[in-house]
Chains A and B, each alone.
Chain A
């Protein structure tokens, strides 16, 4: 038998599938199975992009004002009940992806393994790999229950590869009756305008942490990021403190980034943070504590006061 039929849930953001979703599509294709994609909302808008990366069929769940997660999970369950059960469902670790996998997990009575960076199928047996302790240890876990196996992956686990395929066939799927679970309704959608490159796609990321001392000093991080045509990021500590929005957070709870250069300013390097940035090609760290764990992974470490180093660095770059 083996893994013959794979579903990939594609997260759509700003009208296009996220790169994390295209990665999963690429990986699913390489496993030699029939690959179908599920999306929440307008399938026609993304059929071209998904087809380019090898999807032949897109199930588009028309979820109206419902929350996408519960709607897509219910539609998937209805399809499984109708005899279309996949062997494996792959999810990107995204806001909607997490809701879909969690609801589906209960509906089909199967566990869901999250935070994976690799998947290997050997006949019937499917094993996924999860980094723990800030990526120092890799745990391989094999599914032991029945199919469908449910697995979620961190962004940037695979490299998306186009096969220059033609637009995928779109099958519009209506949402089954959600009962009480469908009571939550979206009444307004807000798109936050961002200038400059996206945090998880930027070539250079400059992040600030508690060492900045106060919220107003985050301006230095933004200036430096702008000068380097990069994106500003943050540690969880200053997001929790309310200095910057959650969308700036780099780490296990926030975004996973793998830029060419990552500059960590006033960040000690808690496990929570390291998980999200240690895949960066080059890491520069500025911290006044020479024992800070961040220096253990930095290519260039500056032990010093960022309030002295950063203004000089900004001035030097402005002068170029």
Chain B
């Protein structure tokens, strides 16, 4: 990587972007742990994590603004699952690498980052790699920055506004106090917050076209990453317990006077 890619970007205006996407169980259904492995149950149909739809949209917009190039996807999922990938392909991504391997069960965030970084390398790298700040099911929230470190790239996390001008990335990055304006040469990695752009809905044409787009399915061994799954994880689940449930209180139907109930409740707490 290094400067060569950046020169390429400036010369012919092409920009290639890789988006990390996660396929997750539908968040509308309650999650469950597999009793034997203590991992999240991920059987059945998986969908594109909504958090990742922002990255896909951002990538498509940046490539369009550059005047050329393409958006590729990398994903790690069990059982050769592609339904979430197809959604992102239908939005306009060109191709995908899917890492699906029973040996990956129990992988920690560090192993996941190594796997996804290797998948990026398999695609020949990119000018820009985009991920969500965290997934909606596991929400460890470290994988993007870990990937950047594995790939030796600069990174800007929590990007809430992104543009590329003259081969230079310009990002407004969320901070505790407000935001920082950050510049960064390509190649680089960013994680984008939800709401950074408005994700498009796949068109009928896009959905049909997605069915024929290439998905390169590989295993961890194909990528040359060893010691994955529980074997490579620096952690083990020692117990799973139910938290003390919070009891529901009084529920009333508004008869036009419910506001008075709230006033009384607040008075009782001496906060008004």
Query: Distance (Å) between the CB of A139 and the closest chain B CB?
Result: 5
Q: Is the interface of A mostly helix, strand, loop or mixed?
A: mixed
Nearest residue, chain A, Cβ from B33: A137
Name the B residues within 8 Å of A299 (CB-CB): 249-250, 265
Bin the interface of chain A by size. Answer: 35 or more
Question: Of B156, B241, B260, which contacts A138 at CB under 8 A?
Answer: B241
Per-residue CB contact flags for chain A residues 134-167 toward chain B (1 = under 8 Å, else 0) read 0111111111110000000000000000000000
Q: Is A85 on the interface with B (CB-CB < 8 A)? A: no
Contacts A139-B33, A313-B262 aside, 10 further interface pairs with beta carbons under 8 A come to A94-B176, A102-B113, A102-B145, A111-B235, A132-B31, A142-B235, A184-B156, A190-B181, A270-B27, A300-B249
Asked whether A83 is an interface residue with its Cβ less than 8 Å from the other chain, the reply is: no
Expressed in whole angstroms, the Cα–Cα distance for A108 and B140 within the complex equals: 18
- B binding-site residues for A, Cβ under 8 Å: 1-2, 27, 30-31, 33, 38, 108-110, 113, 133-134, 136, 139-146, 148-150, 152-158, 160, 173-185, 188, 193-195, 198, 233-243, 245-246, 248-254, 256, 258-263, 265-266, 269, 271-272
Complex Cα distance, B141 from A260, in Å, reads: 29
Contact among A240, A261, A272, A317 for B269, CB-based, below 8 A: A261
Q: Is the CB of B233 within 8 A of A69?
A: no
Q: Could you tell me the distance between the alpha carbons of A297 and B262 in the complex, rounded to whole angstroms? A: 16
Contact, CB under 8 Å: B236 / A183: no
Q: A112-B110, A271-B27 are in contact. Are A186 and B182 (CB under 8 A)?
A: yes
B152 touches A181 (CB 8 A): yes
Contact with B along A213-237 (1 / 0, CB 8 A): 0000000000000001000000010
Minimal beta-carbon separation of A5 from chain B (angstroms): 19
Which are the 7 A-B pairs with shortest beta-carbon distances?
A: A304-B254, A145-B234, A102-B145, A111-B234, A301-B251, A13-B176, A192-B178
A300 near B265 with CB under 8 A, answer: yes
Counting CB contacts under 8 A, is A56 at the interface? no
Measured in the bound complex, the distance between the Cα atoms of B170 and A160 in whole Å is 38
User: Within the assembled complex, what's the spacing in Å between the Cα atoms of A128 and B92?
Assistant: 41
- The reply to whether the CB of A34 lies closer than 8 angstroms to some CB of chain B is no
Neighbouring A residues of B141 by C-beta, 8 Å: 93, 98, 114-115
Contact A103 B184 (CB under 8 A): no
Closest CB-CB distance, A201 to chain B, in whole Å? 13
Contacts of B156 in A (CB 8 A): 67, 184
One digit per residue, 1 when the CB lies within 8 angstroms of any chain B CB and 0 when it does not, for chain A 278-320 equals: 1000101010001000011111111111001110110011001
Q: Say what secondary structure dominates the interface of chain B.
A: mixed
**Inter-chain contact B142/A114, CB cutoff 8 Å:** yes
Interface assignment of A1: CB less than 8 Å from any CB of chain B: no
B56 CB → nearest A CB, Å:
15
**CA A129 – CA B157 in complex, angstroms?**
26
A105 interface residue, CB < 8 Å from B? yes
Q: Are B263 and A317 in contact (CB under 8 A)?
A: yes
Residues on A with beta carbons closer than 8 Å to the beta carbon of B262: 263, 284, 300, 302, 309, 313
Shortest CB distance B191–A (Å)? 9
Q: Which of A41-49, A169-177, A241-249 contacts B (4 or more CB under 8 A)?
A: A241-249
Q: Which of B158, B242, B251 contacts A95 (CB 8 A)?
A: B158
Question: B259 and A309: CB pair below 8 A?
Answer: yes
CA distance A109 to B185 in the complex (A): 27
Within 8 A of B (CB), among A259-274: 260-261, 263, 270-272
Contacts of B233 in A (CB 8 A): 111, 144
Instruction: Verify if A90 is at the interface (C-beta below 8 Å from B).
Output: no
Can you name the residue of chain B whose Cβ is closest to the Cβ of A189?
Answer: B180
Q: Given A67, A73, A115, which contacts B139 in the complex, CB threshold below 8 Å?
A: A115
Chain A residues within CB distance 8 Å of chain B: 11-14, 18, 67, 69-70, 73, 93-96, 98-99, 101-103, 105-107, 109-115, 127, 131-133, 135-145, 179-192, 203-204, 228, 236, 239-242, 246-247, 252-253, 260-261, 263, 270-272, 278, 282, 284, 286, 290, 295-305, 308-310, 312-313, 316-317, 320
Given contacts A192-B179, A304-B258, contact A236 B237 (CB under 8 A): no
Pair A136/B245 contact, Cβ less than 8 Å = yes
Shortest C-beta distance, A185 to chain B (Å), equals 6
- Chain A residues contacting B110 (CB-CB under 8 Å) are 105-106, 109-112
Task: Please pick, from A18, A114, A181, A309, the residue contacting B176 in the complex, using a CB distance under 8 A.
Answer: A18
Q: What residue of chain B has the Cβ atom nearest to residue A103's Cβ?
A: B149
Centre residue among A98, A115, A260, A304 by max chain B CB count within 10 A: A98
Residue among B152, B251, B265, B269 facing the most chain A CB atoms (10 A cut-off): B251
Are A141 and B146 in touch, CB under 8 angstroms?
A: no
